[in-house]
Amino acid sequence: MAIKIRKLDSSDAGFKTALAAVLKFEESENEAIERSVAQILADVKLRGDSAVLEYTRRFDRLDVASAASLELPTTRLRAALDALDTSRRAALEAAVGRVRIYHDKQKIECGSHSWQYTERDGTVLGQKVTPLDRVGVYVPGGKASYPSSVLMNAIPARVAGVREIVMVVPMPDGVVNNLVLAAALLSGVDRVFRIGGAQAIGALAYGTNIIPAVDKISGPGNAYVSAAKKRVFGTVGIDMIAGPSEILVLCDGTTDPYWIAMDLFSQAEHDELAQPILLCPDAMFINRVETAMNRLILAMPRRDVIIHSLQNRGALIKVRDMDEACEIANDIAPEHLEVSANKPHKWAQYIRHAGAIFLGRHTSESLGDYCAGPNHVLPTSGTARFSSPLGVYDFLKRSSIIEVSHEGAQTLGKIAVELAHGEGLQAHAFSAEYRMKTRN
């Protein structure tokens, strides 16, 4: 049984159209989901805790006595951490440590400090940078419950200086993921509620008696959660609405084809819409990767998902040379970009658009997913053209500072009066003029 993965050649006449067809992904709006989410949000806004309780009983089949018991005490998180076996706990702690170090550096480099400068006439201009007050982290429940998501969402918020981090995680049928709860404790989450779905998003956005309203919600979720996040955007901030995960591997043909095959698999195993693409100038090497995939696939526990993803969304693309590979990479602006080549820096300098760039053949994407340090929440579907990985900067915001001196008010007033009249806004002009007349 050979995997039927699409093979393209950039020198073919129809290549651009064929590539566009591979990349095409349109989030279909589901009317039923939209209606249901709108109704749940309105209900949570109106009835608060009792609505949250009802939906949690209905959708998660969770028999909770009262809204207050939706919150998990810290002792429960501590118990989850203690329940982990030694090596898993050590790995989790190591990952937390590395992600924190990276985001600590990011905080220093990303402009998290307030700044100002004084002009000769005494006028002061600048920006005050402050963390958000309170952030909500959504963590999916059930089989897609990933402890690494907890780290990647909570740690940048903590590093930014957010006062309170509230995590929500549904526990359908009471199923608890100890690794997720342990990750929450280690990442510095302050409060955990075992709720999920649109009702959890509504509770975080509007607040209830028990669940505090937050200023921003981050974290992945299913179609209901995404629809709810879109709807509450404006009332609160949101991180992003992620599309399917993607990897683009640029390989010069010098890496072990089994490594490349497995890197494509590791993306494909996420879900059936995940998109693994290889760009390589060496047709023989592409064949060797294909052979490797066919040899490896049967041993993969998640082979059905992998095959589905590769056949429907994947591609092996023969390019003219590595320069062309870089051009195509910029057009695609992938979430994950592996530059698996002898001289990775030579090619990386041409890359303008990518969520994360993995350089050199020892840098498998999976190391970045878990523990290298940088965030694994990345822009998808070409949005790396205009957006960035989740980071400390997403949990900070800025206020402009303007303090005009008496002298400054005279010179600035003249400019403002002239332009205000040019725009027909006379009160603006008068307001500036008042400061020009007197020495109050």
Residue numbers belonging to the annotated binding site: 138, 199, 222, 245, 267, 270, 336, 369, 423, 428
Contacts of a second copy in 370-409 (CB under 8 A): 370-375, 378-379, 381, 383-389, 391, 393, 397-406, 408-409
**What minimum distance in Å lies between the beta carbon of 58 and a second copy?**
28
**Among 103, 246, 290, 336, the one annotated catalytic:** 336
Beta carbon nearer to a second copy, 55 or 206: 206
The reply on whether position 20 binds a second copy by CB under 8 A is no
Which amino acid type is present at position 384? Answer: A
Considering the complex, what minimum distance in angstroms separates the CB of residue 284 from a second copy? 18
Which position among 246, 290, 335, 365 bears the catalytic label? 335
Please identify which residue in the block is written with the tokens 């084809």: 257
Q: By CB under 8 A, tell whether 187 contacts a second copy.
A: no
423 binds a second copy (CB under 8 A): yes
Residue 422 makes contact with a second copy by CB under 8 A? yes
Identify the burial level of 1 via C-beta atoms within 10 angstroms of its C-beta, where 0-12 means exposed, 13-18 middle and 19 or more buried: exposed
Residue 63 near residue 57, CB atoms below 8 Å: yes
Please report, for residues 288, 329, 339, 356, 367, the alpha-carbon distance to residue 361 in angstroms, rounded to integers and kept in the order given.
Answer: 17, 18, 7, 15, 12
Q: Is residue 415 a contact point for a second copy (CB under 8 A)? A: yes
User: Can residue 130 be called a binding residue for a second copy (CB under 8 A)?
Assistant: yes
Residue whose CB is less far from a second copy, 68 or 401: 401
- For 244, phi then psi, to 5°, come to -60, 150
- Which listed residue (174, 193, 262, 314) binds a second copy by CB under 8 A? 262
Q: How far apart are CA 415 and CA 101, in angstroms?
A: 47
Query: In the window 309-328, what residues touch a second copy (CB under 8 A)?
Result: none
Map the footprint of a second copy across residues 234-253, applying CB under 8 A: 234, 236-237, 241
Nearest of 40, 407, 22, 383 to residue 203 by alpha carbon: 40
C-beta of residue 33 within 8 angstroms of C-beta of residue 223:
yes
What is the number of alpha carbons within 13 Å of residue 134 lying toward its C-beta? Answer: 15
Main-chain phi, psi angles of 168, to 5 degrees:
-120, 135
Q: How many CB atoms lie within 10 A of CB 38?
A: 14
Binding span for a second copy by CB under 8 A among 37-45, 220-228, 279-287, 427-435: 427-435
**Interacting residues of 345 by C-beta distance below 8 A, sequence separation 6+:** 359
Q: Determine whether 336 is an active site residue.
A: yes
Rounded CA-CA distance 374/358 in Å is: 11
Taking every pair of Cα atoms in the chain, the longest distance, rounded to a whole number of angstroms, is: 88
Q: Looking only at residues 39 through 68 of this chain, which bind a second copy when binding is defined by CB under 8 A?
A: none
Closer Cβ to a second copy, 151 or 167, answer by number:
151
Helix (H, G, I), strand (E, B) or coil at 345: helix
159 contributes a contact to a second copy by CB under 8 A: no
| Binds a second copy by CB under 8 A, chosen from 266, 275, 277, 290 | 266
Q: Does 86 sit near a second copy (CB under 8 A)?
A: no
Tokens of 428: 């603006």
- Pick the stretch among 10-18, 125-133, 220-228, 283-291 that binds a second copy (CB under 8 A): 125-133
Total residues at interface with a second copy (CB under 8 A) = 127
208 contacts a second copy (rule: CB under 8 A)? no
Catalytic residues: 335-336
